[in-house]
Amino acid sequence: MSYKKISLSIIMLFLLIPMTNTIAFIHIDNVKDGNYVFFLIDLEVDENLELNLTHTGSGNFTLFLFNTRPELSYVNDDKTLNENIFTKVVNYSLDDNPYINFTATELRIYYIEIILISGGPDTFTLTANKDLTRYYLPIIPGFQLEMVIFSLIVALGLIVIFYKKNVKIIS
């Protein structure tokens, strides 16, 4: 009888002890050569962000941190890295298992880009000490004004031609 009370007391004691996990964010994804993944996070002044990327295969991953919204992926058509990316980032890592430890100097939204340069397809695991939000760059390019005007002229021309043919048939 006393063993049951002691066991119950110990189990109740374990329920009172809080379980903590130091990792706030884990994301696992599989990407192909030249593909990229974006995340964003809102950091306050002197707030620390720690990012660690590991992979399962032989992929060559890179990890970049921007302090302004990127409008390009900085991946060339031949799946190489555009050199302009190094002038736009505040921190980056080109290691085999990229790692960034960054302390924010100003209150703003920071953007994280992961690029698989070669050795893919490969699966990566991104861990961070803060919650990240997935961010997608628009893939569809904007319409060129010349194409819109040309399409309107052709469409209006076809409407006028068909309207005139229908008027002649009815008369």
- Chain segment 109-160, per-residue pLDDT in tens: 999 999 999 887 899 999 999 999 998 876 555 667 788 888 889 999 888 8
**CA angle, 57 then 62 then 63, to 5°:** 120
| Cβ-Cβ contacts under 8 Å for 47 (sequence gap 6 or more) | 103, 104, 130
Neighbour-count burial of 38, counting CB atoms closer than 10 A to its CB (0-12 exposed, 13-18 middle, 19+ buried): buried
Neighbour-count burial of 20, counting CB atoms closer than 10 A to its CB (0-12 exposed, 13-18 middle, 19+ buried): exposed
| Cβ-Cβ contacts under 8 Å for 1 (sequence gap 6 or more) | none
- Chain segment 4-40, per-residue pLDDT in tens: 777 777 776 666 666 555 557 899 999 998 889 999 9
**Alpha-carbon distance 67 to 21, whole Å?**
28
pTM of the model: 0.68
Q: Where do the structural domains in the chain lie, given as residue ranges?
A: 23-162
Residues facing 39 on adjacent strands: 112, 134
Give 36's Cβ-side CA count (13 Å radius). 27
Confidence of residue 49 (pLDDT cuts 50, 70, 90): very high
Are 148 and 51 in contact by the 8 Å Cβ rule? The answer is no
Reduce the DSSP state of residue 97 to 3 states and report it: coil
- In CATH, the number for domain 23-162 is 2.60.120.380
Q: Which two tokens stand for residue 14?
A: 């374990």
